[in-house]
Chain A
Amino acid sequence: MSTVAWWMEAGAVLCWLVAGIAAVRAIRRPGRSDGCYRWLTGLGCLLVVTLLGWLWLALDRPPLRTLGETRIWYAGLSVVAGSLVAWRLGTTSLRLPMLIMGILFLSLNLVFPQALDKTLMPALRSPLFVPHVVVYLLSYAVLGISGGMALWRFIRRHPDPDLPFRLVHAGLPLLTLGLCLGAIWAKEAWGHYWAWDPKETWALLTWIAYVALIHGERGLRERPRLALGIIAGCFVVVLMCWFLVNHLPSTAVSVHTYTRE
Chain B
Amino acid sequence: MRTVTSFFGVLIGAWIVQAIHPTLALQLPGPPWNWLLTAGPVGLAASLAWWRSEHPLVRGLGSASLAIASLLSVAATCWPIAVFPVGVDAPHWLNWFGLADPLSSLPFAIAMAAVAINLAVSLGRRLRCGPDRLRFTILHLGLLTAILGGAAGHGGLIRARFIMEEGAKPGDAVTAVDGRRVRLPVALCLDDFVLDRYAPMLLVAEADGSLFRGEVLIGSGAHDLVRGLQIEVTEWLPSAAVVADRPVPFSEPGTNPAARVVIRDVGGGILGDGWLHPPGPYGSELFLALPGGRSLHLDEPRPQRYLAKIRADGVSHEITINHPLRVDGWAIYLLSYDESLGPASRTASFEAIEDRALPAVYIGLGLLILGVLMHLWKPRVAGDRV
Binding site for B on A (CB under 8 A): 1-2, 115-123, 125-126, 162, 165-166, 169-170, 173-174, 176-177, 180, 183-185, 187-194, 196, 198, 201-202, 204-205, 208-209, 211-212, 214-218, 240, 245, 248-250, 252-253
Contact A208 B376 (CB under 8 A): no
Q: Which residues of A have CB within 8 Å of B83? A: 198, 248-250
Q: Which residues of B have CB within 8 Å of A209? A: 75
Contact A117 B365 (CB under 8 A): no
B274 at the interface (CB under 8 A from A): no
| B16-24, B279-287, B367-375 - interface stretch | B367-375
Q: Known contacts A173-B376, A216-B64, A252-B89; is A191 also within 8 Å of B72 by CB?
A: no
When C-beta atoms are compared, the residue in chain A nearest to B150 turns out to be A194
25 chain-A/chain-B pairs, Cβ below 8 angstroms: A117-B213, A119-B302, A121-B302, A122-B304, A122-B321, A123-B321, A125-B322, A173-B376, A180-B369, A183-B361, A188-B322, A190-B333, A191-B331, A192-B353, A194-B150, A196-B103, A198-B83, A201-B81, A204-B75, A208-B75, A211-B67, A215-B68, A218-B64, A249-B85, A253-B87
Q: Known contacts A118-B198, A119-B198; is A201 also within 8 Å of B68 by CB?
A: no
With A and B bound together, what is the CA distance between A165 and B67 in angstroms?
A: 19
Q: Which residues of A have CB within 8 Å of B150? A: 193-194
Q: Which residues of B have CB within 8 Å of A194? A: 150
When C-beta atoms are compared, the residue in chain A nearest to B362 turns out to be A184
Contact A122 B320 (CB under 8 A): yes
When C-beta atoms are compared, the residue in chain A nearest to B366 turns out to be A180
Contact B72 A212 (CB under 8 A): yes
Contact B351 A205 (CB under 8 A): no
With A and B bound together, what is the CA distance between A209 and B82 in angstroms?
A: 14
B78 at the interface (CB under 8 A from A): yes
Contact B74 A123 (CB under 8 A): no
With A and B bound together, what is the CA distance between A154 and B190 in angstroms?
A: 62
Contact B84 A214 (CB under 8 A): no
When C-beta atoms are compared, the residue in chain B nearest to A170 turns out to be B379
Contact B68 A216 (CB under 8 A): yes
Contact A169 B74 (CB under 8 A): no
With A and B bound together, what is the CA distance between A176 and B74 in angstroms?
A: 17
Using A115-B215, A173-B372, A250-B83 as known contacts, list a sample of 5 further A-B pairs with CB atoms less than 8 Å apart, ordered by residue number in A. A1-B215, A169-B380, A180-B365, A188-B323, A193-B361
Contact A205 B82 (CB under 8 A): yes
Contact B75 A115 (CB under 8 A): no
Q: Which residues of B have CB within 8 Å of A205? A: 75, 78-79, 82
Contact B68 A249 (CB under 8 A): no
Interface string of B224-255 (1 = CB under 8 A from A): 00000000000000000000000000000000
> Which of A116, A194, A214, A250 has the most B CB atoms < 10 Å from its CB?
A250
With A and B bound together, what is the CA distance between A201 and B103 in angstroms?
A: 11
Q: Which residues of B have CB within 8 Å of A240? A: 82
Distance in Å: Cβ of A255 to nearest Cβ of chain B: 11
Interface residues contributed by chain B, number (CB under 8 Å): 59
Q: Which residues of A have CB within 8 Å of B103? A: 196
Q: Which residues of B have CB within 8 Å of A196? A: 78, 81, 103
B382 at the interface (CB under 8 A from A): yes
Q: Known contacts A115-B215, A116-B215, A123-B322; is A191 also within 8 Å of B386 by CB?
A: no
B303 at the interface (CB under 8 A from A): yes
With A and B bound together, what is the CA distance between A245 and B79 in angstroms?
A: 12
Contact A245 B321 (CB under 8 A): no
Contact B321 A208 (CB under 8 A): no
Contact B305 A253 (CB under 8 A): no
Contact A250 B84 (CB under 8 A): yes
When C-beta atoms are compared, the residue in chain A nearest to B102 turns out to be A196
Q: Known contacts A115-B214, A115-B215, A189-B322; is A212 also within 8 Å of B71 by CB?
A: yes
Interface string of B153-181 (1 = CB under 8 A from A): 00000010000000000000000000000
With A and B bound together, what is the CA distance between A187 and B358 in angstroms?
A: 10
When C-beta atoms are compared, the residue in chain A nearest to B196 turns out to be A122
Contact B82 A245 (CB under 8 A): yes
Contact A122 B84 (CB under 8 A): no
B272 at the interface (CB under 8 A from A): no
B328-346 residues with Cβ-Cβ distance < 8 A to A are 331, 333
With A and B bound together, what is the CA distance between A122 and B380 in angstroms?
A: 40
Distance in Å: Cβ of B355 to nearest Cβ of chain A: 9
> Which of A115, A118, A122, A177 has the most B CB atoms < 10 Å from its CB?
A122
Which residue of the partner chain, among A115, A122, A184, A201, contacts B213 with CB atoms under 8 Å?
A: A115
Distance in Å: Cβ of B77 to nearest Cβ of chain A: 11
Contact B78 A217 (CB under 8 A): no
Contact A211 B71 (CB under 8 A): yes
When C-beta atoms are compared, the residue in chain A nearest to B375 turns out to be A173
With A and B bound together, what is the CA distance between A35 and B361 in angstroms?
A: 50
Contact A249 B89 (CB under 8 A): yes
Q: Which residues of A have CB within 8 Å of B368? A: 176, 180
> Which of B74, B302, B331 has the most A CB atoms < 10 Å from its CB?
B302
Q: Which 7 A-B pairs have the closest CB atoms?
A: A201-B82, A173-B372, A191-B333, A253-B85, A126-B322, A215-B64, A212-B68
Q: Which residues of B have CB within 8 Å of A202? A: 82
Distance in Å: Cβ of B230 to nearest Cβ of chain A: 13
Contact A191 B353 (CB under 8 A): yes
Q: Which residues of A have CB within 8 Å of B88? A: 252-253
Contact A204 B333 (CB under 8 A): no
Contact B386 A214 (CB under 8 A): yes
With A and B bound together, what is the CA distance between A65 and B375 in angstroms?
A: 30
Contact B306 A191 (CB under 8 A): no
Q: Which residues of B have CB within 8 Å of A120? A: 304
When C-beta atoms are compared, the residue in chain A nearest to B321 turns out to be A122
